[in-house]
Structure 1
Amino acid sequence: MASQGSAGNVIAALCTVFFPGLGQLVQGRIFAALIFAIVCFGGYFLWYFIIPAIIAGIFHLWAIIDAATYKNTG
Structure 2
Amino acid sequence: MSAGQGSAGNVIAALCSFFIPGLGQLVQGRVLMAAVQFVLAALLWLILLGWVIHLWSIIDAALFKPGR
State the TM-score, normalizing by the size of structure 2. Answer: 0.91
User: How much is the aligned-residue C-alpha RMSD, in angstroms?
Assistant: 1.2
Among candidates 51, 54, 59, match of residue 53 of structure 2: 59
Q: Which has more helix, going by share of residues? A: 1
TM-superposed deviation, 1:61: 0.3
Structure 2 gaps, min length 5: none
What's 2:3 paired with?
Answer: 2
TM-superposed deviation, 1:7: 0.1
Identity %: 52
State the TM-score, normalizing by the size of structure 1. Answer: 0.84
Larger Rg: 1
Separation (CA, whole Å) in 2 of partners of 1:15 and 1:31 = 16
Structure 1 gaps, min length 5: 47-51
What's 1:49 paired with?
Answer: none
Among candidates 53, 64, 68, match of residue 70 of structure 1: 64
> How many matched pairs?
67
